Amino acid sequence: MSRAFTLTSTGSATVSLTLSRGGGTFAYTLAGVTQTKTITRQPFGGVTMAPTQTDPKRVEENSSAVVFSGNWRRADASFGWSGGSAMESNTAGATASITFNGTSIRWIGSRGRDRGIASVSVDGVAVKDVDLFGHPAEEIHAPVYTLHDLSPGQHTLTITVTGQQDTQSSSNTVVVDAFDVAPDTTISHWQDTNPDMKFSAGWVKSSQAFLWSGAGVSNLPELPVTAQETQAAGETLTLPFRGTGMSWIGYRGPDAGIAQVRIDGGATSEVDLYSPIATFQPIVFSAFGLADTNHTLTITATGRKNAASTGARVVVDAVDIYTPGRRYEEYEKSIAYATPPGTFWTLDNQARVWSEGTTATSNVPGATATFRFTGTSVSWIGCEKGSAGGVADVSIDGVFQQTVNLNQTYPVEGYQMTVFRKDGLVPGPHTLQIKVVNTSGSYVVVDAFDVR
C-alpha cells in the first residue's frame, strides 16, 4: 500500500508512505531534498508500540449518544480523562442524557473535595441522588454510579446537576466523563500502595504536590498516597491479577520517558509517555479481552525518552482491574448489617478511594454483614492496611469458609481488593456472612461484593 500527500499552504512538501506486511518506508521531499525512514515490523514477542485499547462497552461524553443541556464546560485539561476529555457543570438544572439499549449502565465521572450532588433518573423516573464528595483530593475516570435490573430495551439515563453539595465540599461541580453500556465487568481501582504491586529498588515515592489518584488523606504520621516513579533503566513493577482487562494509570508530561509493558509471556509493548503538557492520572496503557484467569503485568522503565522530552520519568499511579461479573455496592438492599448489643457498623465512609465512593466499616467483634446473592462465584471487595486490619470469619450458607486477616504494615494500603473469593458454588441462591472477630482497634471494611 502506498500513499502520497502534498502540503501547499506556505510552500510544498511531498510525503510518501509505503507499507507491506514486513514493514515499509516513510519518505518526504522538502525544497528538493528527500529523506527516507525505513519501518521494520517487529516479530511476535518483539517490541511494538502500544495499541490504544478501550473498553468496547464505553461511550465517551463527546459521543452523539450523549446530549448536554444547560451550562456545561470542558473539565480541567491537566487530568487524563477517559477518551481525553470530560464535561463539568455547577449550574443547577444542567443535564446530561444518554439513550441506550440494555439492562444496565455505569456512569464514569469524578470524585473529590470540590464535587457536588447529582440526581440520576431513568426514563423520567428519579433513581438516586449521588454525592460525589470524597476526602481524597481527586479521582477521575471513576465509576461513580451503576444502575442494574432495567427492563430489556431502550432507556434514557439523565444526570441533573442539583446545585447542592456535601457540607464538607468546597463546590457543587458534577463531571460527566463517559458511560459503560450494559457492562459485564466490574472495575477495581488499585493504588500504587497495593500489597501485590512489587516495585524494584529504584522506584521512589512521588511528590505530594501533584494531582495523584487518592492523594491528600492519611492517618498521621503516615504520608498520603501518591505514586511511584523512576527514571532508571531496568526498574520494574510486577503485578499479579485475575481479570479480563486492565488499565495502567500513570503520567504524561514534558519530562516523561519510555516504558515497556508486558502481560504474561505476550508481546512487549512500548509506551512513549511524553507530552508537551503535564497530564495526571491518564490511562497510558490498556489491555482487554484477556482470558479470565491469573495474569502478571510487568512494567519496565527503559531509561530512554522521546527526543523532545527533558527526562525519562515513568510513573505508576494506579491500575484498574476489570473482572467479569456484577458488583453489589455496600449500600444495596441485598446486604444486611446486624448489630447485636454493643456492636455497630459505620456506613457512608468517604475517607478513601472506595468502590463508588463509600464503604461500611466496623471495629466491634460480633458485628456481621450478610449478603444474599444468586450465582456460582462470589468475592468480598475490602481493604488491607494497618487501620483497616481487622480479622473476620467468612461463611457461606452457614458453612465456615475462612478466617481473613486484613492487616498490612504501612506503607502498604490495599483498596478495592478481593480479600476473599469462592468459586464453584452450586447454581442458585446463597448467603455469605462476614463476622468481625478481632480488630485490635482497627476496622473491617465491606466495600462491595462481586458475583458471577
Q: pLDDT (tens digit, 0 to 9) for every residue of the chain, 452 residues total?
A: 444 444 444 444 444 544 433 344 444 443 343 343 333 333 333 344 455 577 789 999 999 999 999 999 999 999 999 999 999 999 999 999 999 999 999 999 999 999 999 999 999 999 999 999 999 988 999 999 999 999 999 999 999 999 999 999 999 999 999 999 999 999 999 999 999 999 999 999 999 999 999 999 998 889 999 999 999 999 999 999 999 999 999 999 999 999 999 999 899 999 999 999 999 999 999 999 999 999 999 999 999 999 999 999 999 999 999 999 999 999 999 999 987 777 789 999 999 999 999 999 999 999 999 999 999 999 999 999 999 999 999 999 999 999 999 999 999 999 999 999 999 999 999 999 999 998 787 999 999 999 99
Would residue 27 be called left, alpha or beta, if left means φ above 0 and alpha means ψ between -120 and 50 degrees?
beta
Q: Greatest CA span in the chain, whole angstroms?
A: 88
Query: What class, spelled out in words, does domain 327-451 have in CATH?
Result: mainly beta
Burial 22-59 (b: 16+ CB within 10 A, else e): eebeeebbeeeeeeeeeeeeeeeeeeeebeeeebebbb
The CATH number that domain 189-323 falls under is 2.60.120.260
CATH superfamily of the 58-183 domain: Galactose-binding domain-like (2.60.120.260)
- Tell whether the torsion through CA atoms of 195, 196, 197 and 201 is positive or negative: positive
Amino acid at 322: Y
Measured CA to CA, the distance from residue 173 to residue 90 in angstroms comes to 4
CA–CA distance from 254 to each of 57, 274, 308, 314 (Å)? 32, 6, 8, 12
Rounded to two decimals, the pTM is 0.88
Amino acid at 187: I
Least Cα distance to 386 among 306, 300, 299, 445 occurs for 445
Measured CA to CA, the distance from residue 141 to residue 134 in angstroms comes to 14
Measured CA to CA, the distance from residue 445 to residue 452 in angstroms comes to 22
Burial class of residue 333 in the structure, from the number of CB atoms within 10 Å of its CB (0-12 exposed, 13-18 middle, 19+ buried): exposed
Strand 47-49 to strand 268-272: parallel, antiparallel, or no bridges (unpaired)? parallel
